[in-house]
Structure 1
Amino acid sequence: MTEILTRTRPFTELTALRELGPERFGATVDPIWTIGPKVHGGCMMAICAAAARRSVLIAGGGAELQPIAVSANYLAAPDPGEVHVSTSVRKMGRQVCAVDVQLSQAGRVAVTAAVTLGSLDGGEPRYQETVPLTQLPAEPTAEAVHVTPEHPMGQIVHVAQGCDLRVDPSAALFLSGRQGDPVNRMWLRPFAADEAEADTALLFALMAGDISAPVTMNRGMFGWAPTVQLTTYLRRRPSPGWLRVMASSTVMGTTWFEEDHLILDATGAVVVQSRQLAMIPKGA
């Protein structure tokens, strides 16, 4: 276990990188950024994205280039503590850059990621479908479940110690021992000091594409549902305020299920879309 770094800007500390050499970086993962004993997949994705962005800046790319797409394969589940990140810039362009990233611990590769960097969307979209998530109030309701360290969910989902996480109980039926559709909805917000750093808030939104507890829980299937592959699109900078998150699945097989995340910012704009392939919990 590592020492708790800070309680005011924990995500800034998570994504802070130390340069160890050409295209080599170090990072420290605090124990709060875990699900159970293992590091949260979205947090590892954010570290990879931060390393890719740093590599492009070092290579002369513009500061406006941000990780608009990250496709990660999860090979091992590291523990909190020191991790090392290596990058390889595959394409340097004025509009699009591509970087391959490996995140390792103790010489063992845990994540490989392909990161695409480009300019984020801005202004009004030319077309956007109406999505059910817009019906969720922009801020948590009085009925929202605050996931604190003392809450049963907070004792497993430790990432809730590094942000403000409120769950919609009308969707997360598993919290009351019921079953329903594989859908989860929640409100999420970084701490004020993290939100004040524009690039940190951006990486936080990227991380949130993996924030939901497995939607298998709403079908009575509990336990570890390891992510094998996760692809996340970052569409625009989130406006300050609460993020609204919906996670859902359309097909749950005997071995695999997919889980999609859609994230809106306080203005209702789509900021993140993600899809992952994960395994049905053992024994389910």
Structure 2
Amino acid sequence: MAQVAQATIGNSEFDRDTAVTLRDPGVPGVYDAELSAGWTIITAVNGGYLLALLGRALGDALPHSDPFTVSAHYLSPSEPGPAVIRTETIRAGRTLSTGQASLVQYAADGTEVERIRVLATYGDLDALPDDVRTTALPPAIPAYRDCLGPSDGPAPAIPGSSAITERLNIRLDPATVGWVVGMPSGKGEMRGWFGLADGRDADPLSLLLTVDALPPTSFELGLKGWTPTVELTTHIRCRPAPGPLRVSITTRNLAGGFLEEDAEVWDSADRLVAQSRQLAKAPLSHG
């Protein structure tokens, strides 16, 4: 059997599904997009996928193409189907540019519904100095072969779509999958290896997906169901090296029905390539 060619950056399902089209060359900043059903989880389109979609539009609209920091507020659940992204350049400097973007969809009666609003600063990752001073260490995750994928255990009893799992190659640290068999650790931790299922290497845009792609830490806190993101801020620190990523997510505080998730993403060269913090609404059901 002939070997299937690995997808490449710019030629993959992720790139096709995050494509945006400038609506009118004479009216810059307005883009048409199609939210793919392939990136849904439980009841809604994944927040990291949406962040990448808006990130692509801003990278086209701004004079700089690499996201440095992206802060998003999720206003209502997005649905598969047509969407419009409106961007605005707030400031364009020599090394950094800042813009905002809003994604809207239309209800059955034609009413416009805003789904997500983003404020972001972009630059050139390749122009950054090489100096690194850090106390951060890569997460202690077992070897890829010793971690667990979807086929290694019973399917978790979570109703709704799991289409996004077919597009991701995630192998979770066994210490963070007790929730699958009804024995959550209670530690609020999720760790694992991450890649796209078609073999496409990571780039700054796909890192916006990566920070929100693992199962929520709420599962290991003994909660089931959708954990909707309220706000998500992501920092892209450098262009990732080819190869699988390691992702570590922790929650230290669940209070008042909300929790935070702090994520770190490390590349195959042991570099911290992305960080994020999100505030999410905790599920109501207990395992």
- TM > 0.5 fold call: yes
- Is residue 146–residue 165 contact of structure 1 (8 Å, CA) maintained in 2? yes
Residue 264 to residue 157, structure 1, CA distance change in 2 (3 Å):
farther
One-letter amino acid of the counterpart of residue 45, structure 2: V
More divergent stretch after superposition (212-221 vs 124-133): 124-133
Structure 2 CA distance for partners of 1:130 and 1:87, relative to 1, 3 Å: closer
Per the alignment, residue 259 of structure 1 pairs with 261
2:114 aligned partner:
109
CA contact (8 A) 2:167 2:198 kept: no
The answer for the alignment partner of 1:172 in structure 2 is 177
Query: Bigger CA drift: 166-175 or 42-51?
Result: 166-175
Q: Distance in 2 between matches of 1:136 and 1:124?
A: 26
Q: Deviations over 1:204-255 (max 9, x none)?
A: 1121111121211112111111110000011111111101001111111131
Q: What is the letter of the counterpart of residue 251 of structure 1?
A: N
SS at structure 2 position matched to 1:194: coil
The separation in 2 between residues aligned to 1:231 and 1:202, in whole angstroms, is 14
Which residue identity does 1:36 align to in structure 2? Answer: I
Q: 1:223 aligns with which of 222, 225, 238?
A: 225
Distance in 2, matches of 1:271 and 1:192, equals 21
**Cross-structure match for 1:11:** 14
Runs of 4 or more off by more than 6 Å in structure 1? none
Distance 1:206 1:151, change over 3 A: farther
CA RMSD, Structure 1 to Structure 2 (Å): 2.2
Tell me whether 234-243 or 29-38 shows the greater mean CA deviation.
Answer: 29-38
Deviates more, 1:268-277 or 1:28-37: 28-37
- Cα gap change, 1:283 to 1:191, in 2 (>3 Å): closer
Residue in 2 that maps onto 1:3: none
Is the Cα contact below 8 Å between 1:70 and 1:113 reproduced in 2? yes
Deviation of 1:92 after TM superposition, in Å, equals 0.6
TM-score, length basis structure 2: 0.85
Q: SS of 1:170's equivalent?
A: helix
Name 2:165's counterpart in structure 1: 160
State the match for 1:79 in structure 2.
Answer: 79
Alignment of 1:1-284 (within 5 A): 9-21=12-24, 22-56=28-62, 61-62=63-64, 65-106=65-106, 107-120=112-125, 124-131=130-137, 133=139, 135-137=140-142, 140-142=144-146, 144-147=147-150, 152-153=155-156, 156-180=161-185, 181-192=187-198, 194-195=200-201, 201-284=203-286
Residues 170, 214 of structure 2: 8 Å contact kept? no
* Separation in 2, partners of 1:156, 1:123: 43
Sequence identity, in percent? 27
- Alignment length, in residue pairs? 264
Q: Which runs of 5+ in 1 are unaligned?
A: 1-6
Q: TM-score, normalised by structure 1?
A: 0.86
Note if contact 2:138-2:272 (Cα within 8 Å) is conserved in structure 1. Answer: no
Supply the distance in 1 between the matched residues of 2:67 and 2:136 (Cα, whole angstroms). 25
The answer as to whether partners of 1:172 and 1:183 remain within 8 angstroms in 2 is no
Q: CA deviation at 1:193?
A: 6.0
Do the aligned partners of 2:96 and 2:121 also contact (CA within 8 Å) in 1?
yes
Once the two structures are superposed, what CA deviation does each residue of 1:163-199 show, in whole Å capped at 9, x if it has no partner?
212111222221232122100111111245632xxxx
1:132 CA drift (Å): 5.5
Following the alignment from structure 1 to structure 2, what is the Cα–Cα distance between the partners of residues 36 and 151?
17
- CA offset digits 1:96-120 (Å, max 9, x no partner): 1001100111121100000110122
Q: How many angstroms does 1:277 deviate by?
A: 0.5
